Amino acid sequence: MSYASLKKELQKIADVGFASAVLSWDQETYMPPKGATFRAQQLATLAGIAHKMYTDPAIGNMIKVLKSNNTLNEKETKNLNLVSEDYEKQKKYSTAFVEEMSHTVSECFQAWQSAREKNKYELYAPVLNRLVELKRKECDLLGYKEHPYDALIDQHEKGMTTREVEVLFDDVKKELIPLVQRIAQSPQVDDSFFYQHYDKQKQWDFGIKLLEQMGYDFNAGRQDISAHPFTIHFSSQDVRLTTRIDENNLSEMIWSCIHEGGHGLYEQGLPVEEYGMPLGNHISLGIHESQSRLWENNVGRSLLYWQNNMNLARTYFPEQLKNVSAQDFYKAANKVTPSLIRTNADELTYHFHVLIRFEIEKALIEEKVNVNELPELWNALYKKYLGIEVPDNTRGVMQDIHWSHGSFGYFPTYSIGSFYAAQFYAAAQKQLKNLDNQLLNGKMEALLAWLRENIHQHGKMYTSSELCVKISGEKLNFRYFMDYVVKKYTNIYFQP
Amino acid sequence: MSYASLKKELQKIADVGFASAVLSWDQETYMPPKGATFRAQQLATLAGIAHKMYTDPAIGNMIKVLKSNNTLNEKETKNLNLVSEDYEKQKKYSTAFVEEMSHTVSECFQAWQSAREKNKYELYAPVLNRLVELKRKECDLLGYKEHPYDALIDQHEKGMTTREVEVLFDDVKKELIPLVQRIAQSPQVDDSFFYQHYDKQKQWDFGIKLLEQMGYDFNAGRQDISAHPFTIHFSSQDVRLTTRIDENNLSEMIWSCIHEGGHGLYEQGLPVEEYGMPLGNHISLGIHESQSRLWENNVGRSLLYWQNNMNLARTYFPEQLKNVSAQDFYKAANKVTPSLIRTNADELTYHFHVLIRFEIEKALIEEKVNVNELPELWNALYKKYLGIEVPDNTRGVMQDIHWSHGSFGYFPTYSIGSFYAAQFYAAAQKQLKNLDNQLLNGKMEALLAWLRENIHQHGKMYTSSELCVKISGEKLNFRYFMDYVVKKYTNIYFQP
C-alpha cells in the first residue's frame, strides 16, 4: 500500500467535492428557478457518494498500513495524520445522515429565499427548525468536551471552543463598546458621495481593476454576480469570486470585491500539487477570513490605498468624485455607525453583529430558545448591542444565508479572522520595511508574496495557533486589533 | 425488490450524470483556462463513478427480480427493458476504460482547441489518434453484426446501421446533387444585407425574443455564449442553450438560436416524473435533431415565419433592414451555395458536409485511413462533393468539435434529423389544419403542443422508427425531405 495510492483515492473524493462546488456555484449564479428541486437532489447524491467513498473501510486500511510506514516525509506524515483524524470524524456520520442533511439544507435554502422575499418568517421557521434539530444531532454524533456548540465551532475553526470565543467576545464588549460610544459622540464623517448613481458596468470594470491590482489571476478564476458575494474554488487553478453591485452605492461593490479577492488569493496560493489533500486546503475559516479582512480592511480601507487609487476611481466616476479627496474617501470608507445589516457594517460594529449571532446559536444548540422565538430574540439583541430597531425579519433574523445553509458555528470565524488579520498585518509591516511605500504606489506584489510564503503555501501544515505563533511570535491576541483600530479611528474621529 | 427502489438507484446515477453535464456546461461557457486540467480529472472521476454505480451487480439483481414481476404497468415494463439492455451494454466496459476514455476526451478537446487556434493539425493528431484507437476498441467491446462502425452509430441512433446510412446517402447523392447543380445555374439570391454591422446586445435581445416566441421557458432554462452553440440539460426543469454572435453576420445568431431552441423545447418537454429513466430521456440524436431542424428550417426559414417576424427584426435593426422585405429575408435565409463550414451551410449542401464526415469516420474505424492522412482526405472530399478548396486545417478537418469529444457515429444523425423533421412537419401540417395561418400570426402554441403530444412526452417509449410510423404512417422516407426542398427551392430559384 503506497502513499500515492491513498493520495489517488483522496483526490477522487476531492473531485466529487469540487463537482458539488461547481453545482453550488451554478446554483447561486446562473441556475434558472425551476432547476432548484433536481439540483438539491443532485447535490445530496454527490454528498452521499463522497461520504461513502471517504468512509470506505479500504481507506481506513490504507491509513492504518501507512501509519506504520516510516519512509514518509514530513508533509506526507502531516497529510496522513490529518486524513486519519478526518476519517475518524467522517465515520461518525452515516451516509443517510449526510444525505438528509444535504436535502434539508437545500430545502431550507429555498425556503429562506422565498420567505425573505415575502418577509414571512413563518415560511422559513419549520424547515429551519428541522435543520437545527439535525445540527443538534450532529453535535451528539461528533461529540464534544464541554459544550455541544464546541462540535460546530470545531468544524470551522479547528481546536477553538465555545469558552474561548466567549472570552474573546468579553474583550470585544469591554473594549469595543466604549470606543464605539466615544465615536458616536464625535462629529460624524460624511460618506454621502457613496450614495450617488454609479453605473453598474463602470463599477464592474473598476472592481476588476482592483482585483488585478491585488494580483488575482483571472486565468485561474473569474468573477460573477450573485445575490450574496462568495468565493468558491474547484482547484487552486479555478477560483471563483462573486460580487453584487448597487447602482446607488459605490461602497458595497468596492469592499465586497476586495474582500472576496482576499479569499480568492488564498485559494489561488494553495499548493497545486496538494490538490485534494489537507496540505492543499485552507487551515480554518478564521484564517481564510483573515485573508479577506486583511485585504478589505487593513489594506483596502487604509489612507495609503486610497491615496494611490483615488485617481483610478476618478477615471471611472469623474463627476461623482470630482470634489472628493483621498482623505475624504478614506474617512467615508471607515465611517462607524450602528446599522441593521451585518455585511454592510463598519469594521467596529461588525463584531456586535457576530456577537449577536453567536449568542443566538449557542442558545439554539443548548435548546434555551426555539426557532419560533428567534425574531424576538434577534430584535432584542440588536436593541441591546447596537441600539437599533429592526423593522422587519427580512432585514432582521433572515438577513444572512448561513443558517439556511446549515452553517452554525461559522459566524465567530468572521471576528476571529479580523483579529488574526490585524496580528498578521502588524507582522507584515514589521517584516516588510517598505510596505507602506509600496501600497502608496499600488505595488501589492511584496505583500502578496509575503502572504504566499507565510500562509498560503502551507495549506494545513500548521494549526491556526501554530501558524499565528510562527508568524507573530504569539497566539491570537486581541490587542493587535485594538491597537490597529484605536490608531485608525483616533486619526479619523478624535483629531482636533 | 420494488420498482421504486430500482428507480431511486437509477435516479442517483442520473444525478451523477447531470452533475457531469453541469461541469461540461461550465467548461464551455465560463471556466477560466487554467481550470482545464483538474476539470478533466473531475469529469473522469464522475464518469467512472456513474459507470461503477450502473454496473453494480445489485442493479443487475434488481433488474432480474423485477423482470419476473408481473404487476408492472406498461411504462414501467418499458423502462425496465431499456434499462436491462443498457445495463448489459454498460457491463461491456470496464471502469478503467470509461475513465481512460473520459481523460483522453478531455485531453483531445484541449489539444483541438489549441491546435485550431494555431492552425497546427500536428498538435491535435497524436491525441486524436489515441482517441480513435480507443473508439476502435470500443467497437470491439460493444460488438456489431456487420460493420464495426455500426456499434458507434447505434450509440447515437439506436437500431440504425452503416448499411442503412449508406442507402440514405445514396439517395442524397442521387437527388440532391442535381438539385444543387440546377440551383448553381440559376440567378443567385442576394443575402448581402446579413453582412452589415449588427450590434451584439441587440442581436442577443432579438434571439431571446425569438426563443420566447417559440415557447422556450426561461424559468426552466437560460441562454449563454459559447464558442460552439449547444444544448444541455440537468433535468427537464433546467435546460441550457448557448449561442454565438458575430457582429458582422446576423444570420448566424438567428438560426443558431432557433436551432438550439428546438433542442431545448424537446428537453423541456420530456416528462419530469421520469427523471433519470429511459422514458424521461430523448429517443435518439436523430429525433433530437429532428426537433432542432424542424424549428430552424421548416419553421424558421419559411416565408410565413418571416412575414410575421420581419417587423420584429426591424425594431432591432431599423437601419440595416429598412429596404429588406419579408420575401428578401426569406430568400436570403435559404441561399444555397457550397461552403467551407458545416455549421454555416445551407439546408441542401449541409448534407454533403455530413456525407464527407461519414465517409471519413467509416474509413478511420475500418483502418483504411490513419489520422495523419485526414487533412488530405478531407480536402479531397470537399473538392469532390462541394467543389471547393480548403484553405487551412482550422477551417477544414479541425472545424468541428465532435471528434475531439470522441463523438464518432454522431454526424449522420444530423442528416437523419433533417429527414425526420420534414416527415414530421408534413404530418403536423396535415393534422393541424390551421398551422400556416398560425405561423403567419406568430402563434407557435399549437405546433409546440403537437410536438409535445406526439414526440416530447413519450421519452424513449418508442424507437425512432416506431415513433415515425405512429406519427406519419410509415418509416423514415427521404421523399418527404425531397418534396419539401423541391417545392421550397423551386419557389426561390426556378420561378420565371
Cβ within 8 Å, pair B222-A30: yes
- pLDDT the model gives residue B69: 83
Residue found under cell 455500426: B150
Nine-digit cell at B361?
Answer: 469516420
Cβ–Cβ below 8 Å for A41 and B11:
yes
User: Looking at the partner chain, which of A30, A32, A44 has a beta carbon nearest the beta carbon of B219?
Assistant: A32
Asked whether A38 and B233 are in contact (CB, 8 A), the reply is no
10 Å Cβ neighbour count for A82?
A: 18
With cell 491590482, the residue in question is: A213
Contacts of B46 in chain A (CB under 8 A): 15-16, 19
Asked if the C-beta of B31 comes within 8 angstroms of chain A's C-beta atoms, the answer is: yes
Question: How many Å separate Cα A311 from the centre of its chain?
Answer: 30
Instruction: Choose among A12, A18, A45: nearest Cβ to B15.
Output: A45
Among B63, B46, B48, B47, smallest CA distance to B10 is for B63
pLDDT higher than 80, residue A496? no
Q: What angle, rounded to 10 degrees, do the helices at A285-293 and A250-269 form?
A: 130
Q: Cβ distance A465 to A159 under 8 Å?
A: yes
Distance (Å, rounded) from C-alpha A100 to C-alpha A94?
10
Judge whether B232 is closer than 8 Å to chain A, CB to CB: no
Chain A positions touching B221 (Cβ under 8 A) are 32
The interface predicted TM-score of the complex, written ipTM, equals 0.93
A234 touches chain B (CB under 8 A): yes
Mutation pick from A54, A234, A268 vs chain B, by most beta carbons of B within 10 Å, is A234
Q: Which of B99, B138, B157, B260 is catalytic?
A: B260
Local confidence band at A366 (pLDDT 50, 70, 90 cut-offs): very high
Going by C-alpha positions, the residue among B211, B235, B261, B287 that lies closest to residue A43 is B235
Q: Give A-chain residues touching B19 at CB under 8 angstroms.
A: 19-20, 22-23, 42, 45-46
What is the per-residue DSSP string for A115-181?
A: HHHHT-HHHHHHHHHHHHHHHHHHHHHH--SS-HHHHHHHHHSTT--HHHHHHHHHHIIIIIHHHHH
In chain B, which residues have pLDDT < 50? none
Q: Do A238 and B34 touch (CB under 8 A)?
A: yes
Give the up-direction half-sphere exposure of residue B344: CA atoms within 13 A in the CB hemisphere.
15
pLDDT at A315: 97
Task: Enumerate the residues of chain B whose CB falls inside 8 A of the CB of residue A18.
Answer: 38, 42
User: Hey, is the C-beta of A126 within 8 angstroms of any chain B C-beta?
Assistant: no
In chain B, residues with a C-beta closer than 8 Å to the C-beta of A16 are 45-46, 49
How far is it, in rounded angstroms, from Cα A327 to Cα A319?
18
Contact of B22 with chain A, judged by CB distance below 8 Å, is answered with: yes
> What predicted TM-score, i.e. pTM, was given to this entire model?
0.94
Given the residues A157, A260, A289, A347, the one annotated as active site: A260
Give the pLDDT band (50/70/90) at residue A228.
confident
Q: Does B221 touch chain A if contact means CB atoms closer than 8 Å?
A: yes
Interface probe with A: pick from B30, B95, B239, B275, most Cβ of A within 10 Å:
B30
Show residues of chain A in contact with B42, CB under 8 Å: 15, 18-19, 22, 234
Residue type, A115: A
Asked if B224 has any chain A CB less than 8 Å from its own CB, the reply is yes
Q: How far apart are CA A203 and CA A254, in angstroms?
A: 8
Question: Mind listing the pLDDT tens digit for each residue in A138-158?
Answer: 999 999 989 999 999 999 999
Measure B83 CA to nearest chain A CA, in Å.
20
pLDDT band at A322 (very low <50, low <70, confident <90, very high): very high
In this structure, the dihedral spanned by the alpha carbons of residues B227, B260, B335 and B394, taken in order and rounded to 10 degrees, is: 20
* Kind and range of the H or E run holding A304: helix A303-316
Do the chains contact at A49 and B16, CB–CB below 8 Å? yes
Nearest CA distance, A278 vs chain B (angstrom): 17
Please report, in angstroms and rounded to a whole number, the separation of the first and last CA atoms in chain B: 71
- A23, A45, A219 ranked by CB distance to B22: nearest: A23
The residue-averaged pLDDT of A179-189 equals 96
Examine the residue annotation and report whether A260 is marked as an active-site residue of this protein. yes
Element (H, E) at A235: strand A231-235
What H or E segment, with its residue span, contains residue B171? helix B162-171
User: Which of A51, A98, A225, A237 is best to mutate for the B interface (most B CBs within 10 A)?
Assistant: A237
Beta-sheet strand order (sheet of A238-243) = A221-225, A238-243, A231-235
> Exposed (0-12), middle (13-18) or buried (19+): which is B328, by Cβ within 10 Å?
middle
* Smallest CA–CA distance from A47 into chain B, residue: B16
Mutate to test the interface with B, among A8, A9, A12, A277 (most CBs of B within 10 A): A12
Cβ of B238 within 8 Å of Cβ of A39? The answer is yes
Determine what percent of chain A is predicted with pLDDT higher than 90.
Answer: 96
Using the beta-carbon criterion (under 8 Å), do B42 and A30 form an inter-chain contact? Answer: no
Interchain proximity B218–A37, CB inside 8 Å = no
Judge whether A224 is closer than 8 Å to chain B, CB to CB: yes
Residue A432, chain B, CB below 8 Å: the answer is: no
Using CB atoms, pick whichever of A15, A32, A37 lies closest to residue B45: A15
Q: Residue A433's pLDDT is what?
A: 86
Q: How confident is the model at residue A106 (pLDDT cuts 50, 70, 90)?
A: confident
Question: Any idea which of A66-70, A452-456, A463-467, B316-320 has the lowest mean pLDDT?
Answer: A66-70
B22/A26 Cβ within 8 A: yes
Closest CA to A183 of A486, A398, A402, A465: A486
Dump pLDDT digits (tens) for A275-294. Answer: 999 999 999 999 999 999 99
Q: DSSP letter at A394?
A: T
Which chain B residue shows the shortest CA-CA distance from A20? B19
Q: Let me know if A59 is exposed, middle or buried by CB neighbors in 10 A (0-12, 13-18, 19+).
A: buried
**Residue A394 to chain B, least CA–CA distance (Å):** 24
Contact A238/B35, CB-based, under 8 Å? yes
Whole-angstrom Cα distance, residue A83 to residue A277? 8
Work out the mean pLDDT of chain A and round it to a whole number: 96
